[in-house]
Each structure stands twice: as structure tokens, then as C-alpha cells.
Structure 1
Amino acid sequence: MTDGIDYDDFEAGRHVNYWELDRTLQRELRRVYKADEFAWAEPRLSEFGDLIGHTVADNADYVDDHGPELETYDEYGDVQNRVRYPAEQLENERAVYEAGIVADSFETPPGRDEPMALSHYLAQLHLLCYADGGFGCPVAMTAGAALVLEKFDDGDLEGYYDGLVSREYDDLLEGAMFLTEEQGGSDVGANETTAEYDEAAGCWRLTGEKWFCSNIDAEGTLALARTRDAPEGTDGLSMFLVPHGDPDAGVLTKGERQEHAGALPGKRLNDQRYRRLKDKLGTIAVPTGEVEFDGTKALLVGEEEQGFKQMAEMLNLERLSNAAASCGIMGRALLESKVHAANREAFGNTIDQYPLMREDLVDMAVDYEAATAYVFETARLFSERERAERAARGDESVDVDEGVAEDAYRLMRLLIPIAKLRTGRMAVDTTSYAMEIQGGNGYVNDFVTHRLLRDAQVLPIWEGTENILSLDVLRALEAEAAHEPLTEAIQERLDAVTHPALEESAAIVDAEFTDLATALAALAGEDDDYVQLSAKRLAHYIFEVFTAALLLEQAQAKLEDGDGRLALVATRFVTTELENREARGITSGDRLPLEAFDAIVRYAPVEPGAIETPLEADD
């Protein structure tokens, strides 16, 4: 076993290799990747973690202070829709995309016979968001747009798909998704943008306004609009690709755009107007603004009136991306806290020697372990489903049982909105407390925790608020009967737990599992208002029981391999999230944060024999 990490060797959570320091992410990827995938990916993830910890982290701080600027008009008053980016952002873009963050999961990378699972894209996004959660947004939408075209395009948009999944920056297109309208918001069916087919031009033309458009100048934007005589609501929406450049002049790439020292010639632009950029709290790296379509050229994706279904497929990946981004920001906040606590002296000791700080760091670390385990288990299911669908579409390089798709879909359909719901809130809480650990410096823009909190605050909002996601959980339970695969998954994990050190925690989770099943059955007989009133509590309850069972199963496997650390993590999660402790635990004599600090926070090895009975207070 390796020794624990000495965080006093570092001055801050930068100029380090984020992959090498994140043994939690390493463990989860080793679990969810195929053996050959992990062998191929590990050195590349190490290179990527080093890139993010040095170049991207430094550039991200500069970009936060000198973000993109919009120049809607040129000196003659003509629309030019130019977003001016700092050179540091362009450097980050080139380095990250050419590392294969999107490409590797869609196109076969060098040294492999098939594309990587989408879990690999999510892992790289996780690492990227250690440095810049804002930049994570356009990367996520590029992957989401690629997924939509892969699934639904009939071949007419092949040039745009090739650009979205390009490994060469000069050939790259970034993606975006303009959903929100001022009157619509989460009510997508209220969208008013219309689409008319222009026979003379041989293309569709969109008219309307989009209100919250992140990555506003993406080369390939997806937008929903209603065609003539289409029904009201979501059933009447169609999906369109709206290029930044005039599609009649060909696919506009990053390389062509950067050949021009200033704005593109007007004839090369598509007809639309970027009205203004939003003055946001955080995520400065991604320009978010308002867009007016006025006869804007657009290309239909797949069939008419299938836009909401297509959007839902993209939204699954976007929500999972949001959760991976949340984990990445939590990971950076935790790292900054560990380093500061190991170096900051007060009253004669570094502050990580004091019991209250030890408890705080232990619980922050356990939260991070729980969030990462849940997200990458959900990513595993998502990847299985996507690989099975690729096989069904005739990709002979993909060898997956086609029956996996349906089995994985029902469970992931439930787990994905919960992943986004819970981790977005956890990221806000974790970054807020990381700021407190830094003291007054944490509140100052010169220190990264200031930005981490600002960036984290949007994560509960993007891709659906907590209320919207809770209602989506109810839809998954009703439409997909998702309680069935959920019950099977939890029971299977609990059945695997046999080690004496886990016995007490497993009994608590088993009892809560029974109560969860009772709650699900009870809600089935209630009226809609009460069911909706309970939806948020139910979503969090599912997260806690499922994650506890998942951590216990992993802890069992680690104990069998001679490593007891994860048993401490799992039991602490059960204690804090599920155990009803008398007198708020004060009379319990629980000293785990003190006795297990090195194991949980510093990843120090633990012999299984040392934890065969729960840690108790000294006599």
C-alpha cells in the first residue's frame, strides 16, 4: 500500500497534478472502466491532470478577471457578433480539446480499436473543473451536441458532427444549446421561436429570441423552434442546428475564425444578433447572452416535431456533465482546504491538528467520495446504454449485448436527475466552507476559493433547478417503473456486504432501504399534490440509500483486497446521512474524525484488522 499524501508539501492547490492527487477518482475509474480502457487511459489522464493543474489553472484565474467581451456591431454599425476572448482562454481551448476530451469518446483515439466510453469524457471534464468550471460548460455542450447528431442526424450534418468531435483544434466546432426563452424558462413547451422553410434558399429560417445562451458564439448551436401548423407544447418542437457562420459558405471551424485578426466578414456570418452578454456572478470563461433570430438560417436535425425527444437525450448527458463538474469543483475546494489546513499555524500547531478542523475535513472528504462514487456509477450505466445503442446502429467495432440498453436506461433515467440535484448543492456547500477555512483570504478575489464558490453557485440552476429535477424523478418512477431496477441494484449491493467491520452500517442501510420502499409504495396511493410535495425529499432519500449501499459494496471489495480505508468512508457516510443518533451523537463516544483522519483525508493505508469493530472512545 502507498503512504498517505503529505499536503504540507504543497503551497496551494495549483502547480500540481490533479489526477495524481485524486485517489478517489482513480479508484472510481478503475472500477467503471474496462481493464484495457483503464490501462490505455491512465497515462493520458495523468498528462491531462498535469496540464489542468498548471497551464489551465493559471490561465483560468486570468480569464476570470479578463473575460470574453462582445462587440455586436462594427464601426459602421453592421452586425459582426464578435466575441473577443483573451489569449489565455484560446490557449486553454486548444490544449484541452486536443487532449481528446470530447473526441476520445466519439471517435477511435490513437492506440485503440474503438472509442472510449463516455465515462472517459466525464472523467476529463471532472479534472478540467478543478481549474475552470466555466470552461466546462462549452466542453459539455460540445459533447452534448455531438451526441444528438450521432443519434439523430441522417447524414446531412456530417460536416458539423465531424467538427464537434475533432481532435484537431483548427478543425473543431464548439457546440451550444439555446433552450431558454424569457417567457419559457423550465417550461420548454412555451417556447415561441418559429421555423419556416425557405424554398428559394433551401434551408429553414428561425425567428424569435433566446434569453440565456451560454457559449453564445458556438460554431454549431442547437435550438428548438416550432414549425408551421405544429401542435402546441413540447410535441410541436423541432430541433435545428444554427451555425455561427452562413451554412451556404461551408462549415465554419475554429481555424478559419482565427485566421481573421478581427471579426469575420459579414457575408460569412449567419443572420442573427447577439444582443448583449449577461453580467454573471461566475463562470466568466463562458460568454452567456441574449440572441435574436430574424430569418436566421438553420438546418433541421432528424425529423420534424422530434425536438423535445432529442433534447431529452442531450439533457441526460448535460445533467451528468453538470454533476461531474460539481465533483471537480468539490475536489479542488477540498484540495485547497487540505493544503491550507496542513500549512496554516495557529496557537502553536497547524490547524489540521485540531479536532474541529479534523472533523470538517473528514466530512468534506466523505462528501466528495460519496458524490464521485454516485456520479461515476451513473456514468457507467449511461456508457453501457450508449455503447449498446451504437452496436444496434451497426457499429461493428462495438461489442456490447444489445439488451443492456433497456436495463441500463431505466435505472440511469432515475439516477441522472438525482446526480445533478444533489451534487450541485454539495458543490455550493463545499466551496462555501472551503472559503471559510481560508479565513478572510478566502473571501478575496486573489484566492481561488472566491471563484470556486461563484462558479459553483450556478450548478443547481443549469440544466434544471432542484424542483424541476425532483419532478423528473417522479416521471422516471412512473414512466419507467424505475423503482424496480433501483430496488434490485440496492439489494444486490447490500447482499455483497459481509465483513464484520461493515455489519452495523449495513444493518442501518438495510433498515432505511425498507423505509424507502415503504415511502415509494405510500406515494403510489397519494394524490398528485402530496406526491409533488414529497418529491424533493424522496430524491435526496434515494441518493443517500443508493450511495450508502454503493460505498459499502466497494468497501467490502477493498477489505477483501486488504485495504480498510473505504470502510471508514462508508461507515462515516452512513452515520452522517442515515443514522438517527441519540442526543445528536454527543453521547455516542464516536471519535472517528480523530482516529481516522489520516486514512480519510490523507489516503493513508488501513489494515482491515484495525477496523473489525467500530471505532470507540478510549476508556
Structure 2
Amino acid sequence: MNYVDLDPALQPLIESYLEPADRDRLAPVLAALGADAAERLAPLADVADKNPPTLAQFDREGDRVDAIDYHASYQELQKAAYEEYGLSALSHRGLHGWDDLPPHLVKYILSYVFVQAEFGLACPVSMTDAAARTLRKFGEGQQITEAIDRLISTDPDHRFTGAMFMTEIHAGTDIAQTSTVAERDGENWKLSGRKWFASNPDADIILTLARFPGGDDTTRGVGLFMLPKRRPDGSKNSYVIDRLKDKLGTRSMPSGEVTLDGAYAVQVGKLDRGFRQMAEMVNTSRLSNAMRATALMRRSINEALAHARTRVVFGKPLIEAPLMRMTLLPLQAEAEAALGLVFYCGDMLQRGDAGDESAAAQIRVLTPLAKHYICKRARFVTGEAMEIRGGRGYIEEWPDARLVRDSHLGSIWEGSSNVIALDVLRCMRKQDTHRLLAKTMEEKLIPITLAEAGPEVRELLTRWTAIVDRGDVILGAESDVAEALIGGYADDLAQLIMATLLLEQADAEVTRDTNFRKLLVAKAFIGGNISADETAVVDTLAHFEDIVDGASVTREALSSLPAPVA
């Protein structure tokens, strides 16, 4: 089994977004990872989930060590992620045949396949990548340079992992309430305080926030600091892990409570810009959250399809039941729409980093939009897939329960859904990003001349006009009203973007391969999510096997669908 082969949407998107040379370099490592994830890594993840890490606060001499012991299965997963596939290093150095940096999409593609096997480890992998990016962007000095070098290493004897310690009892969402304090210590700093939810707490390099002397009581009074696990002289830094969290999901990866007691730290960037600089790490992690949620959808659908094909009910395979197909098809459409948005976000991030101002503005709002919508939908998709397996799915011997447990994390970490929706509103207020997105998406729809897509193109163009008007109303409303409305608006905006990208990809696949399969997916998604037209979804069921198996669909085969309205 190979997770890449089971995914009908992945390769066509790769062909649309990556240049031929990048596709050629990616192909062998992607094929290897697809098989490895299904055959080796997924079973390891099952074992790691049932054997969570443990904390030893003291050694047998009574000295404080705060050592976390990992099961061998998790250690093997770490080796695969950090060393064999270099997932945390791919945005920072040449690997897998690239002499220069691979496109950001390469990291997201490989991580998406890896996460279908193991979700928990993807958090520290993402934070390691994001820590290196943040330090490179804002930090300076020899210690930070050395930290970056080790964060992006794939050498088992040299590499570091990263983490961010932001959350405090009263300062998870409201960073202005951060109570950890920084005190000058020569050229560097000493930090004291408690961090209440710290994932990967034994990381080698931690980015954290603390109040600095003379700072005000807003987020401008919070600075960003690099907290190494060990001081420059090699001694243990002055912080302790109080306990590990007993979590609903991501059981393979530790999260803990940490107390800083005059801990050695290095300032990163400008003191009064600490929160804004930390936002670079948070936003990178938010986009990874959306990617990981998409991977959970894909794995859960694979599991549901495998069950439905082998489970015989009333003398027939379950997958032949019309209602089961009507259940599975929208899940497939959701997963493909989410993957299309992740690809587009990765591409916009690449362009934004290269200086494209429009792309930079888009990725700023696309990141919270993707996290807000995709992470919520992952909870629904994984839950539906578990129900398809029935009682077996509810039993922990099967992966469905783990997928459901893990799916709830995406909407919480790096900002709960309400916080994320308010970030969308912030982007709209600053840059009218709803108008920018509408203009960009309309420019994608207008050139589509495919007759079979005509009704959907017209539908979306009409809805883009309407959603811009809705956005203007929200921006003109009283603050309380705008905040009350932004959650639903963010979901609708995300769905319109995803529907547009599905049609754009469908047009590309018809032009490139004369394959109408993606158009069927687009029709199913738009019918189920945009126009609320169940008959449009039912009309595509005749091609159910083609859609879920990734078969080619010819124009002639579309004759079972209603003719497009003139």
C-alpha cells in the first residue's frame, strides 16, 4: 500500500503547481515516503500512541534532570521525520536532489503524506521549521546563527528540535497578560515565570515571550527570546518541567507545564516587537495545522473506503449502497478542496517570500482562513469516517479513534477558531483582503470556458460579488456586530476560495489530460457546500468509483449528468 497512490488529487496538483525539474526531484522521495508511511510509519504511530512519553524529574542521585523518555516507536518516527525525510529542514536547505532551497510546497507535500501516518510528531517538526524561519528573519548574533544551523540539520548527532512556549494560565489568547518577566543579565537575559501548555517541552531551542523592564502593559511590552535547553557552557538551563499533560490526542508527543527560574535567554529582534515577531512562528504553524488537518481527512477517508469495499451487508459490499456513496462523496470532495487550498497557500507563501506584495497580503489572510475552516471540517470528516467503520471504528485497535482524537487539536492550537476568525477580521480591516481575494478568484474563474463548468462558474461569480458586499457590511458595522458575524463569514469565504480553486484545477486537468474527474469533484463540493443543492451531488454518484479511485473521465462519460443551463 502507498498513501500517494491512494490519493487521486495529489499528483495532478503537483503537476499544476511545481515546475518539471522540481517534480522530477520530488517523485522518488514522494513515492518512497508514500509506501513507507503506509507500511512502516503508520504501525509505528499506532504503537507510539499507546506508549506515551514519560517524565523523570530526578535521576537516582536526586539531581534534577527533567528527562523525557520516548518509546522506541516514537524515536524511529523522529528519525524518519527529521533525518530521513528532513521535513523540518526542507524550507531552509537543499535536500533530496535540490542544491538550492526546494519550493515551500515540497515540504507541505511530503509532510502531508507523513502526517497520514503520524500526527503528533508533526507538531515539533513544524515548530522546529518555524523556529528556524523566525530566528533567521529577526535574530542576529553568533548564538542564534548556531541555533539555526542545528535546527535545520538532518545529522542525528548535530540536529536540534524547536518549540514555542507562549501559553500561560491567563495569557493564551490575551498575550498582553503574559506574566513571565525578563531581567537583564549582562548582554543577555534571565527569564522567570510559568508556561502552562508547552509542547515538545524538552526541545533544544525554545522561542518564548516575556515582559521586559520599562515595557507597557500591551503586547508591545512583551519581548521575544530564544531559550536554549543548555547554556553556552553546556550546563542545564534554569527551568524545570513540572509535569506532562494527559491529552485527548497527540499522545505520542509530550506537552507539559514549565517553570522558568532565572533561565538564560537571548533576545530576538526588537524588544517591543516581540509579539509581532512571534506571530511569524505562529502563522507558519497555523498553515501547518491546516495541512495536517487535511492529511487526517485523507487518511480517514482511505480507512472508510477500505472498510466499505470489504464489508458485506445484506449480500452486497457496503460501498455499493447508494446512501453510503452519498455519505462518502462529500467527504472526498471536502478533502480534495482542502488539499487544493493548502497547495495554493504554499504557492502564495513562496511568492510572498520572493517579494510579491499581492501574494504576501493573500497568504496573511489565507493562513487563518485555511486553519479556521479546514481544521473544523477535519473533526466532521474523521468522525463520519469513524462511523462508517461502525463499532470497529470506535475501538482503539483501529486508527479511526486516534484520527478523531487528533483532529480536535487543529482548531485549538495556535489560536482557537474564534481567535482565528478575529484575525481574518483584522486582515480585512487593514488591507481589504476580502476584496483582494475576490478579485484574484474572479480572475481565475473568468477565463474558464469549459461548457460543462458553466453553471458553476456563473454561480461562483455571483457569490463572489455578494460576499464582497457582505464583507463591506461587516467592516462598516459596530465592532460587536462585526465580531459576531466574522466566524460564519470566514467559513463562507474559505468555501468560495476552495470551490474556485477546484474549478481552476478542473479546467487545468481537462486542458492537460482531457480528464473531467476533477470537474465532478468540483460539482459535488459546490452542490453540497455553496448552493446547497443535493441533486447536484446525487448527479455525480454515477461516477463514484472514478472519483474515489482517480480514474480518467471522458467528456462522453459525462452524458449521465444534466446538460448545462445556457
TM range (shorter): over 0.9
One-letter amino acid of the counterpart of residue 63, structure 1:
A
Which of 139, 145, 163 is residue 158 of structure 1 equivalent to?
145
Q: After the TM superposition, which segments of 4 or more aligned residues of structure 1 sit over 3 Å from their partners?
A: 588-591, 612-616
Superposed, 1:159-308 pairs within 5 Å as: 159-199=146-186, 202-249=187-234, 268-308=235-275
CA distance in 1, matches of 2:411, 2:560: 39
Q: Distance in 1 between matches of 2:436 and 2:14?
A: 23
Encode CA deviations 1:144-186: one digit per residue, 9 max, x unaligned.
1011011112232111101110021221101000110001111
Residue 578 in structure 1 maps to residue 513 in structure 2: no
Deviation larger for 325-334 or 40-49: 40-49
Partners of 1:100 and 1:520 in 2: CA distance: 41
> With CA pairs under 8 Å and 6+ residues apart, which has the higher RCO, 1 or 2?
1
What's the CA shift for 1:77?
Answer: 3.5
SS in 1 for 2:183: strand
Matched residue SS, 1:297:
strand
Equivalent residue letter for 2:388 = I
Report the Cα distance in structure 2 between the residues aligned to 1:339 and 1:473, rounded to whole angstroms: 38
Whether 2:565 is the aligned partner of 1:606: answer no
Q: 2:93 aligns with which of 107, 111, 136?
A: 107
| Residue 76 (structure 2) aligns with | 91
Give the counterpart of 2:461 among 505, 510, 516. Answer: 510
Structure-1 separation of matches of 2:520 and 2:69: 50
Which amino acid counterpart does residue 160 of structure 1 have in structure 2? A
Equivalent residues of 1:501, 1:613 under 8 A apart: no
What is the Cα deviation at residue 613 of structure 1? 7.7
- Asked whether the 8 Å contact 1:331–1:368 carries over to 2, the reply is yes
- Mean alpha-carbon deviation: is it higher for 367-376 or for 107-116? 107-116
Correspondence for 2:389: 438
Mapped to 1, the partners of 2:7 and 2:197 lie a distance apart of 34
Asked if 1:37 corresponds to 2:22, the answer is: yes
Tell me which residue corresponds to 1:365.
332
Aligned equivalents of 2:41 and 2:476: distance in 1? 52
Q: Which moved more, 1:420-429 or 1:94-103?
A: 94-103
Contact 1:442/1:450 (<8 A) preserved: yes
Q: Match for 1:519: what amino acid?
A: R
One-letter code of the match for 1:564? Answer: F
Aligned with 1:103: secondary structure?
A: coil
- The Cα RMSD (Å) is 1.6
Query: Which position in structure 1 is the counterpart of 2:287?
Result: 320
* 2:64 aligned partner, one-letter code: V
User: Contact (CA 8 Å) 2:37, 2:114: kept in 1 or not?
Assistant: yes
Alignment of 1:78 with 2:71, yes or no, is: no
Query: Using a 3 Å threshold, how does the CA distance of structure 1 residues 605 and 145 change in structure 2: closer, same or farther?
Result: same
- The Cα shift of 1:318 comes to 0.5
* Matched-pair contact (CA < 8 Å) for 1:590–1:615: no
Does structure 1 conserve the Cα–Cα contact (< 8 Å) formed by 2:8 and 2:549?
no
Structure 1 unmatched runs, 5+ = 1-15, 250-267, 389-401
**AA at the equivalent of 1:305:** D
Aligned residues: 560
2:324 alignment partner AA: M
Q: 1:343 aligns with which of 310, 317, 324?
A: 310
1:131-152 CA-to-partner distances (Å, cap 9, x unmatched) read 1111111111011101101111
The 8 Å contact of residues 559 and 608 in structure 1, kept in 2 or not, is answered as no
Which residue is equivalent to 1:475? 426
TM-score by structure 2 length?
Answer: 0.96
Distance 2:247 2:98 in 1: 41
1:409 aligns with 2:360: yes
Pick from 117, 130, 140: which aligns with 2:126?
140
In structure 1, C-alpha distance between the alignment counterparts of 2:536 and 2:360, rounded to whole Å: 44
Amino-acid identity (%) = 34
Q: Residues 56 and 589 (structure 1 numbering): CA distance in 2 closer, same or farther, change over 3 Å?
A: closer
Check whether the contact 2:194–2:259 (CA below 8 A) recurs between aligned residues: yes
Quote the offset at 1:533 in angstroms: 0.8
Cross-structure match for 1:264: none
Deviation per CA, 1:397-442: give whole Å up to 9, x if none: xxxxx4x1x2211111111101001111111111111111111011
Letter in 2 for 1:96: A
Whether 2:548 is the aligned partner of 1:596: answer: no
Shifted more, 98-107 versus 84-93: the winner is 98-107
Contact 1:410 1:481 survives alignment (8 Å): no
Q: Matched residue of 1:293: which SS?
A: strand
SS at match of 2:116: helix
TM-score by length of 1: 0.88
